Amino acid sequence: MSRIAVVGLGSIGGSIALGARARGFDPDTAVRDRARRRGLDVADRLTGALEDAELVVLAAPTAAIPALLAEAAALAPHAVLTDAASLKRPVAEAADRLPPAVRCVGGHPMAGGRAPGIDGADPGIFRGRPWAIVPTARSDEEALGLVERLALSLGARPLRLDADRHDRAMTWVSHLPLAASVALVLAAAHGAGTDLPALAGPGIRDATRLASTPEALARELALADPEALAAAADAVVRELRGVADALRRGDAAALDEFLRAGRDARAPLDT
């Protein structure tokens, strides 16, 4: 593979850097030290990390990407720039403002560590997972192919789609599951009290795991598209009211149909 630099050594950036044997950089000295203890080649300055890089991966929150893109474009004008942030419209818009010769491809690996930060980094988290590849006005085939090869080299399944389609899908695939997970754990904690931690098995643990999303990321996801997320929450409300009505009128057939439709909808995610 090419010479790769990863900027931002959290759970995702650290995992990419470990898997791609990339040079890494993080603005936080303590994170750089911990990343070195994980065996990474870490530069002490952004300039050092980007030197000679052919592919630069910006693994930072969406809000930080526009400034990082501009900085990386200035330091490494010949490199292909990509990112791993959760929203792609802001990245596509920031790419529009880059110098015409700079190449930039939006990216979003659909993976997450079990623990936050560099300590939760694990190059295996991408295996079999989608990796959204989002062309921008500064993308060409070579640049897109370079990012796709990075995804493939980590075992991910690259999927090309435009920024609008990506961000619309994320409302349902990412932001809504977070909100539903929080709503569920709040209701269960209120309803079961101390019996929740005492009796929780793997089912409710999995169903509510997203409620443990670290603060900054959770906020970014919840506020990505407030109107769209509110409408998505309404859709879950309608489903839950339907099942509550069926339960109250003793309609076992409607309940069976609800459960069957859920199994069918979940089946493609079983792998």
Contacting a second copy within 66-125 (CB under 8 A): 110-112, 125
Q: Which is nearer to a second copy, 100 or 203 (CB)?
A: 203
Among positions 33, 52, 140, 195, the unique one binding a second copy when judged by CB under 8 A: 195
Q: Tell me: does residue 142 bind a second copy (CB under 8 A).
A: no
Least spacing, CB of residue 71 vs a second copy, in Å? 28
What is d(CA 240, CA 250) in angstroms, rounded to the nearest whole number? 15
Q: Report CA-CA distances (Å) from 220 to 9, 107, 120, 185, 226.
A: 18, 17, 20, 20, 11
x-marked contacts with a second copy along 199-238 as a string, rule CB under 8 A: xxxxxxxxxxxxxxx-x--xx--xx--xx-xx-xxxxxxx
User: Which token pair is 236?
Assistant: 């879950």
In angstroms, what is the minimal distance from the CB of 58 to a second copy?
A: 19
Rounded CA separation 43/5 (Å): 10
Residue 171: C-alpha distances to residues 11, 43, 174, 213, 232 (Å): 22, 36, 6, 16, 7
Report the nearest approach of a second copy to the CB of residue 24 (Å). 23
Torsion over CA: 181, 183, 186, 191 (sign): negative
Closer to a second copy by Cβ: residue 141 or 263: 263
Piece in contact with a second copy (CB under 8 A), picked from 52-60, 74-82, 142-150, 167-175 = 167-175
Smallest distance from the beta carbon of 123 to a second copy, in angstroms?
A: 15
Residue 1 binds to a second copy (criterion: CB under 8 A) = no
**Should residue 241 be labelled a site residue for a second copy when binding is judged by CB under 8 A?**
yes
114/104 Cα distance (integer angstroms): 29
**From 36, 61, 120, 258, residue interacting with a second copy (rule: CB under 8 A):** 258
Q: List all residues 6 or more positions away from 98 whose beta carbon is below 8 Å from its beta carbon.
A: 69, 70, 73, 81, 104, 138
